[in-house]
């Protein structure tokens, strides 16, 4: 006879959960998604969004300007190569890495969130792999979006479709490698310290000092006319390593002085192997770093 | 011990000769203890091996010798399965300041394998159960210690575990916050039906909350009892009189009470309610002034004095 009144709030008390419990792979994907969003400040405070968003805008602006100019004037192809874009914008990429790699791992160490992750059904490799993949993806978005703008612009301006597509594809491959290399180096430095500032300084130091040193020694080698020395020196900084690989493997034009990128198949293979070894090595070192970071 | 199989089926944690040696220190020394459903207090001084035990129970560190089972699963081989069914609240801070409690607990629920919708629903429920309401949308950095402890508890409960391990949950709380946290811990068992292992270096506060108490020191089991046994054994009465402490001590001993002098105080073990009358009568007969009579809990140190080796094997 009695009907339940509709305007009563019931305290239903504690309810147990009977739904599905997805496993380790799902947890790893969740950490990947959360870290990727975090790299652009999504899901974090407004302050955390400022830096990555500004850098993203700075990264895309020149591409948009180039496209506007190319369409507005009667050019027959884009004024720069697709593969060259990341090399020119390397400072912005390094700054993004320096800001976001510590955000991704140093903060977990500083605020001791890592023990909570390891009290969940994931293993060490899941944490490292998710963080690595997330930062690499964030960097890939940062570098691939502007060249995509260039590509779309080239298509709109009705530049040669074959040229544009192959240049664009090569740039994407090079940027994938760059993202993996940068993410590994950045995370490794950031994971060494719970202090975000040290991580930021360490990453900027590594990228600018190594590039500065390599460029100046290359300049000296150029004066002395030693072309092969210029090429080999490129192994010793991240951005010149990427440059060397794309020069030999993808047929991009070299940004080294005198355009003296690695020319022989042997040199090219060494560049590619060094690149892959550094990527694998940073992953391995990260794994051993987190062996020590247990519950406390 | 006649119903050994039955006991095994309702045991939440069982350790057998569990030993953890680090190069320079033995953190756990042949610990054998069974923990049944309910609230169990794990008491020990700092460095007694509480955190080491928790690490081993979560399968995050491997035992040097011996073994343990949590919810019937072997810690050496089934770590991930254990961690899916157990919640853990660390002693230290573990919260990022620039995300909201909701955002953080949802993320932790997903890390425990809950689908996105369920994670959000359970986060809302759990935060309400631990007493966080509107503030749950604000960044954690602005929370009080009490609110942060609640978030830490919520992330340990959000995936509806069968057992939670709470490491010093009352650390840093003021007396009111402490009582609220202890009440909440009690409810985790009585209302939510989740077993609790809670550590503290203060025996007194766990006596009120726990069904069982396990005391460890230097990595060894000192004592494991139900709380009622424990309280009886540890309740004592501090008596201060204006004069003639020695005569009073003799009188009390003659009356069959166990008592000893501690400076100007007499500490009398309470056998039953009549003990109070005995003390009152003895003081009255001597005609001295009674300055105070106050109930005391033994501190862990006193238990340590009274208990020696030979308590390696206990069932709670």
CB B230 within 8 A of CB B71: no
CA distances from B268 to B225, B241, B244, B291 (A): 22, 13, 16, 15
Give the integer Cα–Cα distance in Å for B131 and B129. Answer: 5
* Range list of β-strands (E), B159-242: 163-166, 195-200, 212-217, 220-226, 235-241
Bridge partners of B13, per DSSP, are B35, B70
Residue among A13, A26, A48 minimizing CB distance to B98: A48
pLDDT attached to residue A75? 83
A130 touches chain B (CB under 8 A): no
Give the integer Cα–Cα distance in Å for B19 and A119. Answer: 21
Specify the pairing of strand B163-166 against strand B195-200.
parallel
On whether the pTM is more than 0.90, the answer is no
Across the interface, do A43 and B99 touch by the CB < 8 Å criterion? yes
Work out the minimum CA distance from B204 to partner chain A, whole angstroms.
Answer: 26
pLDDT tens for residues B52-93? 999 999 988 889 999 999 999 999 999 999 999 999 999 999
A23 phi, psi to nearest 5 deg: -90, -155
B189 touches chain A (CB under 8 A): no
Burial of B224 (0-12, 13-18, 19+ CB in 10 A): buried
End-to-end CA distance of chain A: 60
Across the interface, do A116 and B112 touch by the CB < 8 Å criterion? no
Question: Would you place residue B187 in the very low, low, confident or very high pLDDT band (cuts 50, 70, 90)?
Answer: very high
pLDDT tens for residues A189-239? 999 999 999 999 999 999 999 999 999 999 999 999 888 899 999 999 999
pLDDT attached to residue B209? 87
Report the candidate in B54, B25, B47 with the shortest Cα–Cα distance to residue B201.
B47
| Residues of chain A contacting residue B127, judged by C-beta atoms under 8 Å apart | none
Give the integer Cα–Cα distance in Å for B137 and B102. Answer: 6
pLDDT tens for residues A28-41? 999 999 999 999 99
Highest average pLDDT, of A142-151, A225-234, B164-173, B261-270, comes from A142-151
What percent of chain B stands above pLDDT 70?
A: 88
A290 touches chain B (CB under 8 A): no
Nearest CA in chain B to A126: B111
Tokens matching residue A166: 């192959």
CB A121 within 8 A of CB B80: yes
B298: pLDDT strictly greater than 70: no
Give the integer Cα–Cα distance in Å for B280 and A273. Answer: 89
Mean pLDDT of all residues in A71-94: 92
Work out the minimum CA distance from B142 to partner chain A, whole angstroms.
Answer: 12
Q: Report the phi/psi class of residue A41: left, alpha or beta, with left for phi > 0 and alpha for psi in -120 to 50.
A: left
CB A239 within 8 A of CB A125: no
* Residue where the block lists tokens 């953890």: B20
| Residues of chain B contacting residue A115, judged by C-beta atoms under 8 Å apart | 90, 92, 94
B20 touches chain A (CB under 8 A): no
Give the integer Cα–Cα distance in Å for A279 and B91. Answer: 36
Give the integer Cα–Cα distance in Å for A76 and A265. Answer: 33
Nearest CA in chain B to A107: B96
Q: Which of B57, B98, B141, B152 to mutate to test the interface with A (most CBs of A within 10 A)?
A: B98
Please tell me the least confidently modeled range out of A233-242, B123-132, B301-310. B301-310
pLDDT tens for residues B11-40? 999 999 999 999 888 999 999 999 999 999
Across the interface, do B193 and A16 touch by the CB < 8 Å criterion? yes
Residue among A116, A121, A294 minimizing CB distance to B55: A294
Across the interface, do B112 and A23 touch by the CB < 8 Å criterion? no
Interfacial A residues in 24-83 facing B (CB < 8 Å): 24, 26-27, 30-31, 34, 43-45, 47-48
B255 phi, psi to nearest 5 deg: -80, 0
**What is the distance of C-alpha A48 from the center of its chain?**
18
CB A87 within 8 A of CB A255: yes
Question: Would you place residue B4 in the very low, low, confident or very high pLDDT band (cuts 50, 70, 90)?
Answer: very low
B6: pLDDT strictly greater than 60: no
| Strand, coil or helix: A232 | helix
| Residues of chain B contacting residue A19, judged by C-beta atoms under 8 Å apart | 114-115, 118
Give the integer Cα–Cα distance in Å for B298 and B205. Answer: 12
Question: Would you place residue B240 in the very low, low, confident or very high pLDDT band (cuts 50, 70, 90)?
Answer: confident
Interfacial B residues in 90-119 facing A (CB < 8 Å): 90, 92-99, 103, 107-108, 110-115, 118
| Residues of chain B contacting residue A121, judged by C-beta atoms under 8 Å apart | 80-81, 83-84, 112-113
Across the interface, do B113 and A16 touch by the CB < 8 Å criterion? no
Interfacial B residues in 54-93 facing A (CB < 8 Å): 54-55, 58, 60-61, 80-81, 83-84, 86, 88, 90, 92-93
pLDDT attached to residue A113? 94
CB B33 within 8 A of CB B316: yes
């Amino acid at each position: 006879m009695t009907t339940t009144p509709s305007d009563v709030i019931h305290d239903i008390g504690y309810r147990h959960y009977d739904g599905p419990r997805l496993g380790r792979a799902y947890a790893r994907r969740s950490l990947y998604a959360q870290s990727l969003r975090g790299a652009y400040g999504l899901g974090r405070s407004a302050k955390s969004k400022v830096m990555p968003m500004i850098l993203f805008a700075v990264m895309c602006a020149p591409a948009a300007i180039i496209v506007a100019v190319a369409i507005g004037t009667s050019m027959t192809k884009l004024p720069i190569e697709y593969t060259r874009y990341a090399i020119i914008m390397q400072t912005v990429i390094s700054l993004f890495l320096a800001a976001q790699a510590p955000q991704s791992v140093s903060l977990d160490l500083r605020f001791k969130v890592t023990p909570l992750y390891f009290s969940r059904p994931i293993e060490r490799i899941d944490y490292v792999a998710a963080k690595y993949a997330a930062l690499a993806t964030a960097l890939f978005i940062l570098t691939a979006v502007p060249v995509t703008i260039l590509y779309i612009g080239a298509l709109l301006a009705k530049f040669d479709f074959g040229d544009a597509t192959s240049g664009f594809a090569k740039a994407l491959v090079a940027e994938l490698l760059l993202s993996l290399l940068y993410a590994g180096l950045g995370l490794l430095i950031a994971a060494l310290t719970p202090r975000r500032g040290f991580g930021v300084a360490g990453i900027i130091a590594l990228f600018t000092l190594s590039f500065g040193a390599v460029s100046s020694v290359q300049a000296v080698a150029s004066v002395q006319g030693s072309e092969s020395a210029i090429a080999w020196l490129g192994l010793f900084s991240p951005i010149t390593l990427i440059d060397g690989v794309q020069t030999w493997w993808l047929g991009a034009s070299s940004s080294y002085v005198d355009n003296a990128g690695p020319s022989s198949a042997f040199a090219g293979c060494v560049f590619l192997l060094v690149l892959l070894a550094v990527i694998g090595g940073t992953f391995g070192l990260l794994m051993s770093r987190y062996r020590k970071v247990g519950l406390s | 011990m006649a119903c050994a199989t039955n006991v095994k089926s309702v045991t939440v944690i069982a350790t057998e000769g569990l030993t953890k040696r680090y190069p320079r220190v033995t953190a756990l020394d042949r610990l054998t203890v069974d923990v049944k459903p309910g609230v169990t207090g794990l008491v020990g001084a700092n460095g007694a091996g509480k955190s080491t035990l928790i690490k081993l129970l979560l399968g995050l560190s491997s035992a040097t010798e011996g073994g343990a089972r949590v919810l019937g699963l072997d810690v050496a081989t089934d770590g991930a399965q254990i961690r899916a069914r157990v919640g853990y609240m660390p002693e230290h801070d573990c919260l990022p300041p620039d995300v909201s409690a909701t955002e953080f607990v949802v993320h932790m629920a997903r890390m425990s394998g809950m689908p996105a919708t369920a994670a959000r629903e359970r986060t809302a429920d759990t935060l309400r159960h631990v007493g966080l309401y509107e503030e749950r949308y604000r960044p954690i950095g602005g929370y009080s210690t009490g609110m942060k402890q609640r978030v830490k508890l919520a992330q340990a409960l959000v995936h509806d575990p069968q057992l939670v391990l709470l490491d010093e949950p009352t650390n840093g709380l003021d007396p009111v916050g402490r009582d609220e946290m202890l009440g909440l811990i009690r409810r985790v068992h009585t209302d939510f039906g989740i077993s609790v292992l809670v550590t503290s270096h203060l025996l007194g506060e766990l006596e009120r909350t726990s069904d069982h108490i396990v005391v460890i020191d230097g990595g060894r089991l000192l004592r494991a009892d139900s709380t009622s046994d424990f309280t009886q054994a540890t309740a004592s009465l501090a008596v201060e009189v204006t004069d003639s402490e020695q005569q009073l001590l003799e009188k009390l001993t003659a009356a069959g009470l166990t008592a000893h002098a501690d400076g100007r105080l007499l500490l009398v073990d309470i056998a039953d309610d009549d003990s109070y009358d005995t003390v009152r009568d003895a003081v009255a007969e001597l005609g001295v002034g009674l300055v105070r009579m106050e109930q005391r809990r033994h501190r862990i140190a006193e238990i340590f004095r009274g208990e020696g080796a030979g308590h390696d094997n206990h069932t709670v």
